[in-house]
Amino acid sequence: MPELFTWEFAADPYPAYAWLREHAPVRRTTLPSGVEAWLVTRYADARQALAEGRLSKNPVHHSEGAHAKGKVGIPGERSADLMTHLLNIDPPDHTRLRRLVSKAFTPRRVAEFAPRVQQLTDHLIDGFAAKGEADLIHEFAFPLPIYAICDLLGVPPEDQDDFRDWAGMMIRHGGGPRGGVARAVKKMRTYLLELIHRKRGELGDDLISGLIRASDHGEHLTENEAAAMAFILLFAGFETTVNLIGNGTHTLLHHPEQRAQLQESLARGETALLATAVEELLRYDGPVELATWRFATGPLVIGGQEIATGDPVLVVLAAADRDPARFGGPDTLDLARRDNQHLGYGHGIHYCLGAPLARLEAQCALGTLLTRLPDLGLAAGPEELRWRGGLIMRGLRTLPVRFAPER
Ligand code: HEM
- Per residue in 85-121, pLDDT (tens digit) is 899 999 999 999 999 999 888 999 999 999 999 999 9
Q: Which of 57-71, 209-223, 389-403 has the highest mean pLDDT?
A: 389-403
| For residue 175, pLDDT beyond 50 | no
Q: Which of 151, 207, 352 to mutate to test the pocket of ligand 1 (most atoms within 8 A of CB)?
A: 352
Counting from 1 in the atom list of ligand 1, the atom nearest the Cα of 349 is: 38
Q: Who's near 326: CB < 8 A, 6+ residues apart?
A: 43, 44, 320, 341
Can you give the pLDDT at residue 314? 97
The confidence score (pLDDT) of residue 359 equals: 97
pLDDT at residue 176, rounded to an integer: 45
Q: Distance from CA of residue 117 to its chain's centroid?
A: 18
User: Please, are residues 329 and 291 in contact by the beta-carbon 8 Å criterion?
Assistant: no
Identify the residue whose C-alpha is closest to ligand 1 atom 21: 241
Longest dimension (CA), the chain: 64
Overall number of domains in the chain:
1
Q: 135: part of which helix (H) or strand (E)?
A: strand 133-135
Residues 70-87 have pLDDT tens digits of 677 777 776 666 777 899
What's the pLDDT score for residue 216? 67
pLDDT score of 177: 47
- CA 325/CA 89 separation, integer angstroms: 32
How far apart are the C-alpha atoms of 296 and 305, rounded to whole Å? 13
Structural domain contains residue 1? no
Pocket residues for ligand 1 (CB within 6 Å)?
50, 86-87, 98, 149, 232-233, 236-237, 240-241, 244, 286-288, 291-292, 344-346, 350, 352-354, 357-358
* Cα of 264 from ligand 1 centre, angstroms: 31
| 385 inside domain | no
SS3 309: coil
Rounded to 10 degrees, the C-alpha dihedral 123/129/133/135 comes to: 10
Instruction: For residue 2, tell me if it sits in a domain.
Output: no
d(CA 364, CA 367): 5
The Å distance, Cα 32 to ligand 1 centre, comes to: 24
Element (H, E) at 208: helix 207-213
- Which whole number is the average pLDDT over 368-394? 91
Predicted local confidence at residue 390, as pLDDT? 76
- Residue among 3, 19, 10 nearest 285 (CA): 10
Query: How does pLDDT run across 251-276, given as a tens digit for each residue?
Result: 999 999 999 999 999 999 999 999 99
Q: Report the nearest-CA residue for atom 5 of ligand 1.
A: 352
Q: Name the most confidently modeled range: 186-195, 273-282, 381-390.
A: 273-282
Question: Model confidence at 179, in pLDDT bands (50, 70, 90)?
Answer: low
Residue 159 belongs to a domain? yes
CATH number of the domain encompassing residue 212: 1.10.630.10
Which residues form the domain of 332? 7-379+394-402
Counting residues of the chain whose pLDDT is more than 70, the rounded percentage is 95
Of how many residues is the chain composed? 407
- Nearest one of 287, 278, 289, 288 to 252, comparing CA atoms: 278
394 within 8 A of 243, measured Cβ to Cβ = yes
Looking from the CA of 85 toward its CB, the CA atoms found within 13 Å total 23
Give, as one character, the DSSP assignment of residue 4. Answer: P
pTM: 0.95
Question: Which residues touch 37 (CB under 8 Å, ≥6 apart)?
Answer: 28, 29, 31, 293, 311, 312, 313, 314
Ligand 1 midpoint to CA 335 (Å): 22
Burial grade of 46 (CB within 10 A; 0-12, 13-18, 19 or more): buried
